[in-house]
Structure 1
Amino acid sequence: MRIVAGLLAILSLALPITAQQKLAFDVASIRENKSVEGPGGEPPQTNVPLGPGNVYSPTGGQLNVRNMDFLVLVSFAYRMTVPQQDAFRDMAPKWVTEARFDIQARTDKTDVTKDELRLMMRSLLADRFGLVVHYETRTASVYSLQLLKPDTFGPHFRKHTGTCSKDFKGKTTVDADAEGYPEVCGGLLLLSGSASTHFRIGARDMPMSVFATSLTGWGDLGRPVVNDTGITGNIDFVLDFVSPYAQAAAGTDVDGQGFQEALHKQLGVKLESQKQPVPVLVLDHIERLSEN
Structure 2
Amino acid sequence: ENQISGAPSWISSDRFDIQATPGETVAAEWQKLEPDQRSEMQRELLQSLLAERFKLKLGHETRDVPVYLLTVGKNGPKFHESATSNQGRDSGSDQPRRGIMMNGRGQLTVNDAGIDILTNVLSHQLGRIVLDKTGLRGRYDFTLNWTPEPGEGRMNPGGPGPSREGPSGAAPPPEQSGPSLFTALQEQLGLKLESQKAPVGILVVEHVEKPSEN
User: Alignment length, in residue pairs?
Assistant: 176
Q: Deviations over 1:139-158 (max 9, x none)?
A: 111111111126x211xx22
Q: CA deviation at 1:255?
A: 2.2
CA contact (8 A) 1:185 1:206 kept: yes
Query: Is residue 126 from structure 1 mapped to residue 51 from structure 2 by the alignment?
Result: yes
Q: Which is worse superposed, 232-241 or 257-266?
A: 232-241
The residue number in structure 2 matching 1:53 is: none
The gaps in structure 2 that reach 5 residues or longer are 31-37, 153-175
The residue number in structure 1 matching 2:179 is: 257
Could you tell me which of 118, 130, 135 is aligned with 1:230? 135
Distance 1:189 1:286 in 2: 33
Distance 1:83 1:111 in 2: 36
Distance 2:18 2:68 in 1: 36
Alpha-carbon spacing, 1:141–1:162, altered in 2? closer, same or farther (3 Å): same
The residue number in structure 2 matching 1:184 is: 97
Query: Is residue 200 from structure 1 mapped to residue 93 from structure 2 by the alignment?
Result: no
Query: Is residue 275 from structure 1 mapped to residue 207 from structure 2 by the alignment?
Result: no
CA contact (8 A) 1:216 1:223 kept: yes
Matches within 5 A, 1:24-63: none
Distance 2:145 2:201 in 1: 29
The residue number in structure 2 matching 1:216 is: 123
The residue number in structure 2 matching 1:153 is: 77
Distance 2:151 2:199 in 1: 33
TM-score (norm 1): 0.53
Q: Which has the higher contact order (CA 8 A, sep 6+)?
A: 2
RMSD after superposition: 2.9
Alpha-carbon spacing, 1:279–1:237, altered in 2? closer, same or farther (3 Å): farther
CA contact (8 A) 1:213 1:226 kept: no
CA contact (8 A) 1:91 1:283 kept: yes
Query: Is residue 111 from structure 1 mapped to residue 28 from structure 2 by the alignment?
Result: yes
Q: Deviations over 1:199-250 (max 9, x none)?
A: 22111122222212321323xx332111111111222221011121399xxx
Distance 1:236 1:119 in 2: 28
The gaps in structure 1 that reach 5 residues or longer are 1-81, 166-176, 193-197, 248-253
Matched AA of 2:204: V
Distance 2:17 2:42 in 1: 17
Does the residue aligned with 1:91 lie in a helix, a strand or coil? coil
Q: Deviations over 1:23-55 (max 9, x none)?
A: xxxxxxxxxxxxxxxxxxxxxxxxxxxxxxxxx
Query: Is residue 136 from structure 1 mapped to residue 61 from structure 2 by the alignment?
Result: yes
